[in-house]
Structure 1
């Protein structure tokens, strides 16, 4: 049996046949091949790899966003693609966020800088929980409200934004520069500008089965019409590769909602402004400050 017939046979057998290949949440290629061999012993072993490649090429299997070298089942293929597509364009009422079991790990650290943005010297190393506390506090309320009241595109608005405190989510830095990273945090920031429907976009990010487990912090941007998301990254991959993986997934899945991250996020020293954001959401696993 050559590759196309084996791949076709897997699909013809129905969704459960492909689900049987996933004996763990994000299997490696080796695990997929072993499960394929066990489930389809009559197929020539030489066709197993090409069959998986055919399923990947067709979009039935997808690379994991968060972990390089692992794969996931394309839920949109088997859970009703048309209804999912409609939900992306016109999302239903926001659903509860997927709750992640708290981890017993030291929280990641990244640098906090006092404004303005021209200040390159870090003030402190903080955790996601500490940033969340600042976001929901009234510390930057007056400046954020003044910024949003200023005319869009005006020098006044730009200066107010530049004056905000900021963080470098990718890690702690000796100074804010791509070549001055002291210790990576395992996080990156995704910046979504000019989002048409903030409520729908938040709901999509918080309930997406692939992305929600990687979300650490989500809040409205200083401008009031965008979102900022801090997400976990694959430690085996570089910052740029991680950014591209997230950007590709989000653009493909939630393009109609405007959830294509700002390309500037590819820089490891990317600054993330800290506004007043009483709607900020923090993943339960990161609620500890130390």
Structure 2
């Protein structure tokens, strides 16, 4: 793998760990705390240490701006150029690779143990505990959960190859009834909204604080996906393409101290209809709603959990 901006972003949590590393060179006790796509306000070493530095994630790249210095804004690489005092892109990438011990472009050797021993402590980012819910093994007629699973675990399952074969097979089936039957018998599923003793609203043990919105038979999945990720009212927890390939599963947080699950769903559905002119699957109002797990290499998870 060559040293590139993309490679560094992939190794540093969208670049957040680069910010964390640089800030800790000036303020050793500094720890970034990510909430949604926002790290909040922290000290800016390039503005006299004032609490004016805002860091957030935009289009999967960590960026910054200063609340006082209107010209002080950009992405992680521009920020790093101040610290490493270089404007040469390749020189900057090499310095980042070395300083953070990313080992991009290096061949790991079993005998060269130094490659596995960073000289400095790798910067930490405070992450949020991942919600948990019930996981059910196929077929869908099985209503007794196999175990509990976390949002992060399901993210990796969807992104990996575990469900690649059944997803590929399903999308080749043209007959609607046959496709529905195949999905019911060949896909594991979860109840994103909570933990259950068995899949029934009455058997809810604990709500997860999550709600799933289903979009079916979409004409433009890509544009809607980008719009949902940028939605100003609902924070995306997980977003992936449905098993059929023509829909989206949008998992968002729900505040149960203020409203009941069903009422929140109705409000969300009304908002979506008004904002996106789309109808959502009404079955989402059921707390025990089953959500089949497909393969989607482009699945998105809120970075605060990683």
Which TM-score band (shorter chain)?
0.5 to 0.7
Counterpart check, 1:110 vs 2:133 = yes
2:253 maps to: 232
Larger relative contact order (C-alpha < 8 A, sep ≥ 6)?
Answer: 1
Structure holding more helix per residue: 1
1:177 maps to: 200
1:262 aligned to which of 259, 271, 281: 281
Counterpart check, 1:243 vs 2:265 = yes
Task: Give the distance between the partners of 2:264 and 2:297, measured in 1 at CA.
Answer: 29
* Closer/same/farther in 2, CA of residues 104 and 139 from structure 1, 3 Å limit: closer
* Closer/same/farther in 2, CA of residues 279 and 104 from structure 1, 3 Å limit: closer
Task: Give the distance between the partners of 1:242 and 1:103, measured in 2 at CA.
Answer: 29
1:60-118 deviation line (CA, Å, top 9, x unaligned): xxxxxxxxxxxxxxxxxxxxxxxxxxxxxxxxxxx826979x76543211011001100
Counterpart check, 1:283 vs 2:302 = yes
Matches within 5 A, 1:1-290: 96=59, 104-155=127-178, 157-163=179-185, 164-211=187-234, 214-236=235-257, 237-255=259-277, 258=278, 260-287=279-306
SS of 2:171's equivalent in the other structure is: helix
CA contact (8 A) 1:219 1:277 kept: yes
Spell out structure 1 runs of 4+ moving beyond 3 A.
Answer: 97-100, 102-105
1:230-267 deviation line (CA, Å, top 9, x unaligned): 11001221110111111111110001xx3x32001001
CA contact (8 A) 2:127 2:305 kept: no
SS of 1:265's equivalent in the other structure is: helix
What are structure 1's unaligned runs of at least 5 residues?
A: 1-94
Task: Give the distance between the partners of 2:61 and 2:174, measured in 1 at CA.
Answer: 37
Question: Normalising by the residue count of structure 1, what TM-score does the alignment of the two structures yield?
Answer: 0.61
Across the aligned residues of Structure 1 and Structure 2, the Cα RMSD in angstroms comes to 1.9
**Deviation (angstroms), 1:159:** 1.9
Query: How many aligned residue pairs are there?
Result: 186
* Closer/same/farther in 2, CA of residues 97 and 104 from structure 1, 3 Å limit: closer
* Closer/same/farther in 2, CA of residues 105 and 228 from structure 1, 3 Å limit: same
